[in-house]
A = this chain, B = another copy of it.
Amino acid sequence: MADDKKLTPQGEDFSAWYNEVVLRAELADYSPVRGSMVIRPWGYGIWENMQRGLDGLFKETGHENAYFPLLIPMSFIEREKEHIEGFEPQLAVVTHAGGKKLEEPLVIRPTSETIIMGMYAKWIQSYRDLPLLINQWANVVRWEMRTRLFLRTSEFLWQEGHTVHATSEEAEEHTRRMLGVYRTFMEDWMAMPPVTGLKSDSERFAGAVRSYACEAMMQDNKALQAGTSHFLGQNFSRQFDLTFQTEEGKEEYGWNTSWGVSTRLVGALVMTHGDDNGVVVPPRLAPTQVVIVPIWRKDDQAEAVRSKAAELKVRLEERGVRVKIDDRDHLSPGNKFYEWERKGVPIRMELGPRDLKNDQVVLVKRVRAEDEDKKEFLPQAQAVDEMPARLDALQASLLETAKARREANSYRGVEDIGQLNEIMESGGGFVYTGWSGDPEVEQRVKEETKATLRCIPDEGFRSSKAPTKCIGGGEAKMEVVWDRAY
The answer, among B32, B94, B99, for a CB contact under 8 Å with A73, is B32
Cα of A33 to Cα of B104 in the assembled complex, Å: 10
Q: Are B92 and A71 in contact (CB under 8 A)?
A: yes
Q: A72-B33, A73-B32, A73-B33 are in contact. Are A65 and B48 (CB under 8 A)?
A: yes
From residue 67 to 96 of chain A, which have CB atoms closer than 8 A to chain B?
67-73, 76, 88-96
User: Chain A 327-345 against B: per-residue CB contact (8 Å), 1 yes, 0 no?
Assistant: 0101000000000000000
Q: A29-B122, A73-B32 are in contact. Are A66 and B38 (CB under 8 A)?
A: yes
Q: A32-B118, A71-B141, A73-B32 are in contact. Are A93 and B96 (CB under 8 A)?
A: yes
Cα of A342 to Cα of B123 in the assembled complex, Å: 18
Q: Are A115 and B29 in contact (CB under 8 A)?
A: no
* A378 → chain B closest CB, angstroms: 29
* A42 → chain B closest CB, angstroms: 8
Q: A66-B44, A119-B31 are in contact. Are A94 and B97 (CB under 8 A)?
A: no
Q: Which residues of B contact A123 (CB under 8 A)?
A: 29
Is A374 engaged at the interface, CB distance under 8 Å to the other chain?
Answer: no
Is A170 engaged at the interface, CB distance under 8 Å to the other chain?
Answer: no
Is A145 engaged at the interface, CB distance under 8 Å to the other chain?
Answer: yes
Write the chain B residue with the least CB distance to A125: B1
Q: Are B97 and A33 in contact (CB under 8 A)?
A: no
Write the chain B residue with the least CB distance to A47: B67
Q: Are A29 and B119 in contact (CB under 8 A)?
A: yes
Q: Are A134 and B32 in contact (CB under 8 A)?
A: no
From residue 21 to 45 of chain A, which have CB atoms closer than 8 A to chain B?
29, 31-33, 36-41, 44-45
Cα of A167 to Cα of B176 in the assembled complex, Å: 56
* A187 → chain B closest CB, angstroms: 26
Write the chain B residue with the least CB distance to A65: B44
Q: Are A40 and B69 in contact (CB under 8 A)?
A: no
Is A355 engaged at the interface, CB distance under 8 Å to the other chain?
Answer: no
Is A108 engaged at the interface, CB distance under 8 Å to the other chain?
Answer: yes
From residue 127 to 183 of chain A, which have CB atoms closer than 8 A to chain B?
128, 134, 138-139, 141, 143-145, 154-155, 157
Cα of A330 to Cα of B128 in the assembled complex, Å: 8
Q: Are A91 and B97 in contact (CB under 8 A)?
A: yes
Number of copies: 2
Q: Which residues of B contact A128 (CB under 8 A)?
A: 1, 328, 330
Q: Are A69 and B134 in contact (CB under 8 A)?
A: no
Q: Output the residue of A40, A48, A69, A89 with the most chain B CB within 10 A.
A: A69
Is A98 engaged at the interface, CB distance under 8 Å to the other chain?
Answer: yes
* A345 → chain B closest CB, angstroms: 15
Write the chain B residue with the least CB distance to A287: B64
Q: Are B65 and A40 in contact (CB under 8 A)?
A: no
Cα of A39 to Cα of B39 in the assembled complex, Å: 26
Is A106 engaged at the interface, CB distance under 8 Å to the other chain?
Answer: yes
Q: Which residues of B contact A154 (CB under 8 A)?
A: 97
Q: Which residues of B contact A328 (CB under 8 A)?
A: 128
Cα of A141 to Cα of B92 in the assembled complex, Å: 15
Cα of A122 to Cα of B99 in the assembled complex, Å: 32
The answer, among B65, B119, B143, for a CB contact under 8 Å with A98, is B143
Q: A1-B125, A48-B65 are in contact. Are A70 and B31 (CB under 8 A)?
A: no
* A448 → chain B closest CB, angstroms: 30
Q: A38-B66, A44-B67 are in contact. Are A32 and B76 (CB under 8 A)?
A: yes
Cα of A29 to Cα of B119 in the assembled complex, Å: 9
Q: Are A93 and B94 in contact (CB under 8 A)?
A: yes
Q: A29-B119, A44-B65 are in contact. Are A92 and B88 (CB under 8 A)?
A: no
Q: Are A38 and B106 in contact (CB under 8 A)?
A: no
Q: Which residues of B contact A96 (CB under 8 A)?
A: 92-93, 95
Write the chain B residue with the least CB distance to A105: B96
Q: Are B64 and A45 in contact (CB under 8 A)?
A: yes
Q: Are B95 and A89 in contact (CB under 8 A)?
A: no
Write the chain B residue with the least CB distance to A144: B98
* A163 → chain B closest CB, angstroms: 13
The answer, among B64, B108, B157, for a CB contact under 8 Å with A94, is B108
The answer, among B70, B97, B119, B138, for a CB contact under 8 Å with A93, is B97
* A43 → chain B closest CB, angstroms: 8
Pull 7 A–B residue pairs with CB atoms less than 8 Å apart, ordered by A. A38-B119, A47-B67, A71-B155, A89-B98, A93-B95, A97-B143, A128-B328
Closest 9 CB pairs of A and B: A98-B143, A41-B64, A36-B69, A39-B67, A92-B97, A93-B96, A97-B143, A33-B69, A95-B95
